Structure 1
Amino acid sequence: MTNVILTLNQSQGRCPELPDDQTKCEVKSNCVPGYVSTHSSGIQTGECVPYNNSIKTCEVFAWCPVEDDYHVPKPAFLREAENFTLLVKNNIWYRKFNFSKRNILPTINSTYLKNCIYDAQTDPFCPIFRLGKIVEAAGQDFQEMAVEGGVMALQINWDCNLDRAASHCVPKYSFRRLDNKDSTHTVSPGYNFRFAKYYRNSDGTESRTLVKAYGIRFDIIVFGKAGKFDVIPTMINIGSGLALFGVATVLCDIVVLYCMKKRYYYREKKYKYVEDYELGVGETYGTDS
């Protein structure tokens, strides 16, 4: 959570709705009792009441006062969250090869783990990440993103050649932003969610504080591949390749002898026609008398 909009001391009752094209009114007849729009804060009572000195809106039965989230606080309340750190623990298992490993490598000891911070150049295998650096590595600005939130992907790639030693199978980290940041499309940007804290007053009435929280969600995406030499698939591939050469010869003959314009020329060069006299057909053999 990097930013919040707080609506304090809400209680169930009647109050003016936030002004928009559907809730502004001049007279009572503009408001429909029992009407609830898609984005309404509550149920209209049918009354037209002052929202401020210049605007009237339809009255609603809801948690009052209603939330006003038109203006998001800038800068973000928790802008120092970029210095927070995240420890990622990841385990993989390649079932076919019965090979398993985790991203905290055997060479990492507790002393190193307490002091390291991931850096692509100096500490590429440290599993502790600074949030600001993750956002920066994805080409984004943390302070800007913290205002309305967003979604980041921390990608772990395991690309392993299991013919080599297990120590060569190591994770590779990369980062990117998942939500679409488009300056021309500003409807519901970023990432946010709501929750409420309820409490009971001394007079027995129930109240709550509504929190609209903006934050950066981190999705950890793990992918990879592993391979190992096997003589059987190798022999199958070699046999398939040799068979393909035979098929290729037949296909070439079909194309050259039956499809090309100069097929008669190629046919004369490929085949030799033998006349009957060359075979000796019709000759008689005998002995002198």
Structure 2
Amino acid sequence: MKLQSPEKIELIQPPASRKSRHYTPRHYTPPRYTDANTEESLEHAMDICSEIRSFIVTYESTRRIRLETPCINITLWLIRIAIFVGILLILINNKLYQKVDTEPISAFTTKLDGITYSGPINDSERRELWDSTDLRIPPQAENSIFVTTNYIITNGQERAACADVQAESTNCSTDLDCRDSGQPYQEANGMSIGKCNMTIGYCIVETWCPPEDDTLPNNGTTAVLNYIHDFRVLIKNHVYFPYFDKGRSNLIESITAEKLRNGCHYDPDHDPYCPIFQIKTIVGLANRESCKPDPEEDERLFKEMAIRGGVIAITVEWDCDYDFDESKCKPTYNFSRIDKNHQQSPLGGYNFHHAKYYLENGVEKRKLIKAFGILFLLRTEASARKFDFFTFMGTAEFLFCRMIQDVQQMHLIKGWSTLYLYLVAKNDNESGSNCDCNYFTYGSDIDEKAASSNDEVMPVPGRILPI
């Protein structure tokens, strides 16, 4: 649009008979001033708009030539086939054509069997029997099993006032060294009465008496309970995959009721699917790198761990491929000791307190037990997969996108554009315009066009045809 200069603008003046201070001329156009900078800015803005429009509506592709050279074409096809086969192997080996469900619903049920004793084996009066009900605390826990292997028992405790000689904070020589009556001694698990037992040099506290002696039995060389390593635990794991609406259990088709009654034992080499595990086998596989069973070594490792206890993780792994028979979906078991880095520490191992209460001569008493043992944590790592058309198409498009793009450019876009140009040229020829319609030819005509073409010729052996 051409801009007007100030000299060419005509203002409409009011009539002489209408002289008013508030009169506004009709059809008034304010003057517009331009200079060189303004015109340059407008031109720059127009260039930017043109570039944006060109970027949106214009498609660019590289120039293509057709080479009738067997050596180059064979090499090119070999490279294409090698790339295609490599991508196909990646697709198959990684199973990228399948839909995967990695969020299953899992549940465990367990059962512990075994019997052991403490005390002299030849003294029936001093010997004490323990079965799995006594040693599994609590009887049912969520995804875990605790088995007692060692303990410290304090018998006949009752509520009274006594001195705790194991609490250093209660040392005293006079009553003034003790806390005021009613003040707690957390280390001694009792309340101060404000008096000192000067004979032994400890403050007297109200607590469960006699106080607990925290010294390990047998000087910490062996555990009290025997034959715990021969206890057996049955682990049943059920896993369900909501996406495929399918589920599996580790009681697979080969695990029959008769086999369970006969007492199969898990063995990674000979019976890897039996769900009954010996405690010593679990401890042995969790404490050494070798996966081969060694009964003597397993028993030695268990005896070391039984003194202070520990924590072991049992992982049931599932990798189900529902493109095949469902019976081929079988579990595998892995064992690892979680507290391995702290097993030699004085605070290492695993223990807790529990008590058994009873009445004796009308007085409430308790049997305090500090139980050391092995905590088995049960966990599941499961995934299921199955062929899915949309997953396959999405993965194939991602992997073969370059090949698809080449096909699209070489065949689809070229074909439609050539047909369009041919129809336009034919229409112009019929209307009498000067158009070289013979350029859009097919078959043998392209050789004649190639012979008369002035296109650039590449310095390679063979015949070059324009496409």
| TM bracket (short chain) | 0.7 to 0.9
Give, as a single letter, the amino acid of the residue that structure 2 aligns with 1:69.
Answer: D
Note if 1:164 corresponds to 2:324.
Answer: yes
Deviation at 1:8, TM superposition (A): 0.7
Give, as a single letter, the amino acid of the residue that structure 1 aligns with 2:226.
Answer: R
Give, as a single letter, the amino acid of the residue that structure 1 aligns with 2:247.
Answer: S
Identity across the alignment (%): 35
**Relative to 1, partners in 2 of residues 1:210 and 1:244: Cα closer, same or farther, differing over 3 Å?**
farther
Deviation at 1:72, TM superposition (A): 4.4
1:200 corresponds in structure 2 to 359
2:396 corresponds in structure 1 to 238
Give, as a single letter, the amino acid of the residue that structure 2 aligns with 1:201.
Answer: E
1:204-244: CA deviation from partner (whole Å, max 9, x where unpaired)? 22111111111111111111211111111111122233446
Cα contact 1:118–1:128 (8 A) shared by 2: yes
Give, as a single letter, the amino acid of the residue that structure 2 aligns with 1:213.
Answer: A
CA–CA distance in structure 1, aligned partners of residues 389 and 404 of structure 2: 23
1:213 corresponds in structure 2 to 371
CA–CA distance in structure 1, aligned partners of residues 257 and 363 of structure 2: 52
2:248 corresponds in structure 1 to 101
CA–CA distance in structure 2, aligned partners of residues 71 and 88 of structure 1: 32
Instruction: Give the secondary structure class of the aligned counterpart of 1:164.
Output: coil
CA–CA distance in structure 1, aligned partners of residues 255 and 344 of structure 2: 46
Higher Cα Rg, which structure: 2
Note if 1:4 corresponds to 2:151.
Answer: yes
The count of corresponding residues between Structure 1 and Structure 2 is 243
Give, as a single letter, the amino acid of the residue that structure 2 aligns with 1:156.
Answer: V
CA–CA distance in structure 1, aligned partners of residues 254 and 363 of structure 2: 59
CA–CA distance in structure 1, aligned partners of residues 186 and 308 of structure 2: 22
Residue segments in structure 1 that go unaligned for 5+ positions in a row: 248-289
Choose which of 155, 162, 170 in structure 1 pairs with 2:315: 155
Give, as a single letter, the amino acid of the residue that structure 2 aligns with 1:173.
Answer: Y
CA–CA distance in structure 1, aligned partners of residues 307 and 184 of structure 2: 30
Cα contact 2:355–2:368 (8 A) shared by 1: yes
**Relative to 1, partners in 2 of residues 1:245 and 1:30: Cα closer, same or farther, differing over 3 Å?**
farther
Note if 1:18 corresponds to 2:165.
Answer: yes
Deviation at 1:68, TM superposition (A): 1.5
CA–CA distance in structure 1, aligned partners of residues 172 and 213 of structure 2: 18
Instruction: Give the secondary structure class of the aligned counterpart of 1:176.
Output: strand
Cα contact 2:167–2:188 (8 A) shared by 1: no
**Relative to 1, partners in 2 of residues 1:38 and 1:15: Cα closer, same or farther, differing over 3 Å?**
closer
Note if 1:89 corresponds to 2:236.
Answer: yes
CA–CA distance in structure 2, aligned partners of residues 127 and 160 of structure 1: 18
Worse-matched range after superposition: 31-40 or 123-132:
31-40
Give, as a single letter, the amino acid of the residue that structure 1 aligns with 2:312.
Answer: M
Choose which of 202, 205, 211 in structure 2 pairs with 1:66: 211
Give, as a single letter, the amino acid of the residue that structure 2 aligns with 1:105.
Answer: I
Worse-matched range after superposition: 72-81 or 91-100:
72-81
Choose which of 163, 188, 203 in structure 2 pairs with 1:40: 188
Deviation at 1:245, TM superposition (A): 7.4
Note if 1:223 corresponds to 2:223.
Answer: no
CA–CA distance in structure 2, aligned partners of residues 128 and 108 of structure 1: 11
Instruction: Give the secondary structure class of the aligned counterpart of 2:349.
Output: coil
1:71-116: CA deviation from partner (whole Å, max 9, x where unpaired)? 3444111131000000111111111111111001112222222231
Cα contact 1:79–1:146 (8 A) shared by 2: no
More helix by share: 2
1:260 corresponds in structure 2 to none
2:113 corresponds in structure 1 to none
1:145 corresponds in structure 2 to 305
